[in-house]
Amino acid sequence: METLPLAFANGWASGISAYAVVLVAGIVGRLGWADTPELLQRTDILVAAGALVAVEFVADKIPYLDSVWDGVHTVVRPLIAAGVGALIAEDAGSTVTGLAAAGTAGIALLSHLSKSGIRLAVNTSPEPATNVGVSSAEDVTVAGVALLAWQYPWVAAVIAAVLLVLGVSAVAYLFTRVRRGWKRLGARLGM
């Protein structure tokens, strides 16, 4: 197992949907397709992750509810990513495990903030189709990167790095729309 690229790719994907990352890793391990951490293969973990993926799938398609969901997950996604990173590097010694956890959480936070910013900008669109399309593209991309990471970690890490740069760039480019999205979300929440 190649720790660095595996942790990076899973960190990026966790920032978009940490529950999907846990579910994919558990299923891939259960099917014997890759040597994933045993904790992620447990039935209770798979059931919980599957249920949360289903809730997130629906919540993520509804304009502004997706931003509230993202707000709550600003802490949750990096924490889950830290756990995944620690599990990936658990055999490498405590220092490497700690660095993997911190690095994976940091990458997850960056990708999460990019996702959240882009979604706020998309929410300013008057029609819901854009939101559903962007959310669906995220779902497919996370599943693809998470699956690829366990078979070809370096390829997945490169793809994740490119997507991270594109996401941060998109937020910078869409900054005025992101601000408008924040204002509209605040108005809907009575802030």
Tokens of 58: 């629906």
How would DSSP label each residue in 90-158?
A: GGG-HHHHHHHHHHHHHHHHHHHHHHHHHHHHHHTSSSSHHHHHHHHHHHHHHHHHHHHHHH-HHHHHH
Provide the pLDDT for residue 1: 56
- The residue that leads in pLDDT, 117 or 141, is 141
What is the residue whose two structure tokens read 């809907």?
188
User: 6 with 155: CB under 8 angstroms?
Assistant: no
Least confident of 97-106, 114-123, 137-146, 155-164: 114-123
pLDDT grade, residue 52 (50/70/90)? very high
Q: What's the CA gap between 100 and 21, in Å, rounded?
A: 16
Question: CA-CA distances (angstroms) from residue 22 to 52, 76, 101, 164, 179?
Answer: 10, 13, 15, 20, 32
pLDDT, tens only, 85-126: 999 998 888 888 899 999 999 999 999 999 998 988 888 777
Q: Give yes or no for residue 14 having a pLDDT over 80.
A: yes
